[in-house]
Amino acid sequence: MTTLVSFIIVLGLLIFVHEFGHFLLAKLFGVRVLKFSLGFGPSLAGTKIGETEYVLSAIPLGGYVKMFGENPAEQDVDPADVGGSFAAKPVWQRFLIVAGGPVFNLLFAGFLFFVIFSINGLPVPVDTTKIGAVSEKSPAAEAGLLAGDEILALSGTAIERWEELSERIREGNGEPVIFQVRRNDEVLEFSVTPTMSPVNNIFNEEVEKRYLVGITRAEEVVYEKISLARAVTAGGEQVWSWIYLTVMGIVKIIQKVVPASELGGPILIAQLAGKQMEAGWVNFLYFMAVISVNLGVLNLLPIPILDGGHLVFFSVEAILRRPLSIRVMERFQQVGMIMLGALMIFAFYNDIARFFR
């Protein structure tokens, strides 16, 4: 039940934010909005306020804002209504209306990060020499070091910061090192011989080789209270960081550095949302912010049926000073539909395969 509720909250709220971005910019530039729908397919409930019909639809995997004059194939427009037509607006206004959805997702992510940091504080790593994990079959594991051991000294020299530990091992050129550690109430010593090992980045790419013993520091943090201004900048930094990671993740999948099986769809999002809600409101909001960044970036991809594809059309129109022909755009839209459909099927397949694994 928690998984279902959290999934509805995450997906429903993020779709609403996305479509509201389109809606708000359309209204700002005087475009008539005929329908605001959360979901696709048959209408489950709805009401009409002014010229806009607000609808909750059956398939909750998206939404749309239907604007008057949005379809260029609709030629029969009353001259009196031209001012409220999407197609009649300057290309820069149409560009901003379409970009409003993804941009609002990014702004919403920044707002969520701001809420987390302003209330909870900024997480700051604790300067500690406690071991968080020991890799299997590593020199440290073979010597007898355990997670939770606190490193006091290396070969008789006191260690106060983890960076000192890393530097000493790196500069030791593989010579045996005597680890003096505190375990419970005992002080123990272990002789560990570092080995030359690859160092990988977050995409599991080897970036260098250096002497390692196979331990990682304990992930201990404190939450430092910060000003509202600093919370705003920290939120922006988080959004930029996740934009970069999302883009690089896509690039690494294309380069086959990250296996395509890592792609996830709605089922994976639902599972993760449920787990994050159970872990607490901070985890849940952080997860929602990350998904909001993902949604914003993915919608900006230059695939014709997505917002990014329309932005490409508008950019070409601005350069050529004339719109692409309806036939050309329809062909691109069909290709985009096939690409997006194939991607969704593949993501569902991964979700189901992951479930059985």
- CA–CA separation, 346 vs 350, rounded Å? 6
Q: Tell me which residues are annotated as active site.
A: 19
- Kindly indicate the confidence band of residue 326, based on its pLDDT and cuts at 50, 70 and 90: confident
Residue of 308, 312, 310, 331 whose CA lies nearest to 320: 312
Concatenating the DSSP letter of every residue in 187-232 gives: EEEEEE--EEEEEE-TTS-EEEEEEE-SEEE---EEEE---HHHHH
Instruction: Identify the pLDDT of residue 105.
Output: 96
Residue 323 DSSP code: P
Q: 179-188, 211-220, 322-331 — which is least confidently predicted?
A: 322-331
Q: Provide mean pLDDT across the span 89-93.
A: 91
Q: What is the pLDDT of residues 191-209, one digit of tens each?
A: 988 988 887 777 677 667 8
Q: What is the CA 162 to chain-centroid distance, rounded? A: 30
Q: Say if residue 74's pLDDT is above 60.
A: no
Contact 140, 215 (CB under 8 A): yes
Query: Contact 213/177 with Cβ under 8 angstroms?
Result: yes
Segment 209-222 shows an average pLDDT of 85
pLDDT, the chain, mean: 83
Mean pLDDT check: name the lowest of 181-190, 322-331, 348-357.
348-357
Of residues 320, 334, 326, 315, the one with CA closest to residue 98: 315
CB 13 within 8 A of CB 289: no
Percent pLDDT > 90 in the chain is 24
pLDDT band at residue 220 using 50, 70 and 90 as cut-offs: confident
Between these two residues, 31 and 327, which has the higher pLDDT value? Answer: 31
Is pLDDT at 59 greater than 60 in this prediction?
Answer: yes
Q: How far apart are CA 111 and CA 107, in angstroms?
A: 6
Rounded mean pLDDT, 84-100: 90
Give dist(CA 139, CA 213) in Å, integer: 5
Question: Over the stretch 148-158, which tens digit does the pLDDT of each residue have?
Answer: 999 999 988 89
Residue 77's pLDDT band, with cuts at 50, 70 and 90, is low
pLDDT digits (tens, 9 = 90+) for 272-307: 777 777 777 888 899 899 989 999 998 998 888 888
- Asked whether residue 115 carries a pLDDT value surpassing 90, the answer given is yes
pLDDT (tens digit, 9 = 90+) per residue, 227-261? 999 999 999 999 999 998 888 888 877 777 766 66
Residue type, 112: L
Q: What is the pLDDT of residue 252?
A: 79
**pLDDT of residue 325 exceeding 80:** no
- pLDDT for res 108: 96
pLDDT of residue 329: 78
| pLDDT score recorded for residue 112 | 95
